[in-house]
Structures are given as structure tokens and as C-alpha cells.
Amino acid sequence: MENSKRLVYIEDDAEMIELVRLILGRRGFDVIGAAGGWEGLNIMRREQPDLVLLDLMMPEMDGWEVFQQMKSDEALRHIPVIVITAKAQTIDRVLGLHIAKVDDYISKPFSPPELITSVERVLAKRASA
């Protein structure tokens, strides 16, 4: 079995993508950056990643729109999603975790261990499902 898990990180900030690529790359994850929602959806369809990391606040198409597009697409709806966002209010967490049913919710700024733990937990949960 191939060990390297493929992740797509949809984020309009290139520096954030590089940071996450660095953190998760050290753990053997292959992180593909997407500069926005449309690009992210195209990459997901092409790559069929093991996990999607999703920023909420982006121009053109925000993270919730991307999430809705994923859930309405037969080929993408099974892919787990971790939201990574500066929108840290409680209402956003509740919306994300309990209403939209994302797999996890990380607030910026986050620590590398927090990100790694979340990614590994969501992938382990998916593997045992």
C-alpha cells in the first residue's frame, strides 16, 4: 500500500499553503495547493485526494460554496474536509461541525501539532469507517 496520503489545501494565501506543505510534508503527506475554489474543485476531481483542507474566506468562491459543490458531486462527496480559517467565532464552529458536518475545524493561527493531530485523526477515522 502506498504510504503517502494526498491532501489538497484550498487557500488563497500562497504563504499559508507553503507553511502547511512544510508542516505536513515532514510527516510524509503530499500537499497540493489550490489558489481558490474553482482550482481546488478541478484538482480534487483530477487527484481524488485522501483529505481536503479548506479555507473559508476566499474571493470568488468561499469555502462553504466549495464544500457544497463537493457534497453535491458523487465523485467528491466521500472526501473528508478539515476547515482551516481565521473565522474562529463559536457560531462558525457550530455551523461547520454540526450543521455542515465537516470532519474538523481548525482556527488560524494554529500550531503545527494541532494541524498534524487533526489530519491524522480524520484520516484514521476515515480508514476505520
**Does residue 89 sit within a domain?**
yes
Q: Domain span at residue 53?
A: 6-124
**Does residue 129 sit within a domain?**
no
Q: Is the pLDDT of residue 1 over 60?
A: no
**How many domains is the chain built from?**
1
Q: Is the pLDDT of residue 81 over 60?
A: yes
- Average per-residue pLDDT in the chain? 91
Q: Render pLDDT for 14-32 as a digit per residue (tens, 0 to 9).
A: 999 999 999 999 999 999 9
Where residue 31 falls (left for φ over 0; alpha for ψ -120 to 50; beta otherwise) is beta
Q: How far is Cα 56 from Cα 37, in angstroms, rounded to an integer?
A: 10
| Identity of residue 28 | G
**Does residue 59 sit within a domain?**
yes
Helix (H, G, I), strand (E, B) or coil at 6: strand
More confident residue, 85 or 83: 83
CB atoms within 10 A of CB 55: 25
More confident residue, 1 or 81: 81
**Does residue 106 sit within a domain?**
yes
More confident residue, 129 or 112: 112
Grid cell of 8 as nine digits:
489538497
Concatenated DSSP letters for 18-51? HHHHHHHHTTT-EEEEESSHHHHHHHHHHH--SE
